[in-house]
Amino acid sequence: MRDQIFQELDKIKMPNGQSIVALDMVRALTIDESHVQFVIEAPSAAVAGALEPLRQQAVAAITALAGVTKTSVILTAHSGAAEKPEPPQLKIGGHPKPQAAPMKPAGVARILAIASGKGGVGKSTVSSNLAVALAKQGRRVGLLDADIYGPSQPRMMGVQQRPASPDGKTIIPLQAHGVTMMSIGLMLDPDKAIVWRGPMLMGALQQMISQVAWGELDVLIVDLPPGTGDVQLTLCQKSEVSGAIVVSTPQDVALLDARKALDMFSTLKTPVLGLIENMSVFHCPHCGEASEIFGHGGVAKEAETLNLPLLAALPIDLETRRAGDAGRPVAAGTGPVAEAYEALAARLVQGGMA
């Protein structure tokens, strides 16, 4: 449907004869079942003031498409709004606001945390590919990149646009590969380090959960940072987390830290749904030989010891890295690794976990 929408919007021309699509004026397109929402961003307030007929034309064109029952279009400008004062600037971070009870965004059925005890085990790769694989299973999936210091989901999901905020409070998430996604990496300068203390992290996470217009989702996957710090504590204590999945490589060093993550979830009374062994084996594309680069069976043994399911043993391969760098997760395509993620997604769906 996204392609149909852009084809229709490409027919809507500015006075200079160029379409609003060609001029990159269409932003933050979201499709929530039969409800289509997007923003038309004019180059200036003066131009925006004359574009109300164009906005109405866009609404009529998209509403006329088969399967669309409602279209919401917001007209904005770089330097101000068309018919009202510029909305207050959205600020990210700051101290968290008091909560009476753990929260869950309206319309979100489950929150699933993807965690690891240490960095470098492929947790973010698993998160993005699992989200895409679940979307291919027909689930309505959200992906929240909660790795504040090192957000990688914008690159892995191939998204670069800044999310819209028409009122300075609500954040309109973006869409990629059938997944609704949000990352702090989309809100701040990607080349600048985030130098925040704990309260700022906690406030930013609270904003991305409560202020993002997630819509109706079967599952919201939260890609946590590695370790057992403020973000993990905030998510588990301030949100209704349905369960957590811990990702580790088979090697002993990774398992040492994975056990700490498992203990953290136990302390916080967050159910662990299972473990995933990532980078389990490497199949040489030239000779076909299987190499257990990081060892073998360590995560499976740990899962058996803790009486937890081993949800998947995912291989390490060159295509996974290339796909992530290219902004198209390997699960969006075909092949052995995509099939492994499809099997993982199917297992979660059948088990009622996603």
Please report the DSSP string for 195-216 in residue order: ---HHHHHHHHHHHHHTB---S
Whole-number Å distance between alpha carbons of 207 and 204: 5
Query: Is 324 inside any structural domain?
Result: yes
Q: For residue 301, how many other CB atoms are within 10 A of its CB?
A: 13
Band of the pLDDT at 273, cuts 50, 70, 90? very high
166, 264: one domain: yes
Between the alpha carbon of residue 256 and those of residues 115, 227, 262, 299, the distances in Å are: 14, 11, 10, 11
310 touches 277 (CB < 8 A): yes
- Whole-angstrom distance between the N-terminal and C-terminal Cα of the chain? 24
Is the pLDDT reported for residue 87 higher than 60?
A: no
Query: Is 99 inside any structural domain?
Result: no
Give me the pLDDT at residue 14, please.
81
- Who wins on pLDDT, 288 or 57? 57
125, 273: one domain: yes
Which residues constitute the domain of residue 32?
2-77
72, 166: one domain: no
Band of the pLDDT at 81, cuts 50, 70, 90? very low
Whole-number Å distance between alpha carbons of 86 and 112: 36
**Domain of 57: which CATH number?**
3.30.300.130
- Who wins on pLDDT, 151 or 49? 151
Least confident window among 2-11, 139-148, 277-286, 311-320: 277-286
Pairing of strands 272-277, 111-115: unpaired
Query: Is 89 inside any structural domain?
Result: no
232, 346: one domain: yes
pLDDT in tens, 43-60: 777 677 778 888 889 999
Is the pLDDT reported for residue 83 higher than 80?
A: no
Query: Is 100 inside any structural domain?
Result: no
Query: Is 203 inside any structural domain?
Result: yes
296, 211: one domain: yes
* Pick from 48, 5, 10: nearest CA to 175: 5
64, 184: one domain: no
157, 201: one domain: yes
Query: Is 187 inside any structural domain?
Result: yes
287, 336: one domain: yes
29, 149: one domain: no
Domain stops at, among 77, 96, 129: 77
Note the helical H segments in 75-165.
123-136, 153-157
Domain stops at, among 77, 97, 124: 77
Give me the pLDDT at residue 86, please.
43
Band of the pLDDT at 78, cuts 50, 70, 90? low
49, 120: one domain: no
pLDDT in tens, 206-219: 888 989 999 999 99
**Domain of 301: which CATH number?**
3.40.50.300
245-256 mean pLDDT? 90
Task: Report how many domains make up the chain.
Answer: 2
Query: Is 249 inside any structural domain?
Result: yes
182 touches 173 (CB < 8 A): yes
Is the pLDDT reported for residue 183 higher than 90?
A: yes
Q: In Å, how far from its chain's centre is CA 274?
A: 21
Query: Is 94 inside any structural domain?
Result: no
Is the pLDDT reported for residue 62 higher than 50?
A: yes
302, 180: one domain: yes
| DSSP state letter for 119 | T
132, 214: one domain: yes
Provide the percentage of residues in the chain whose pLDDT is more than 70: 96
226-237 mean pLDDT? 91
Token pair of 351 as six digits: 């088990």
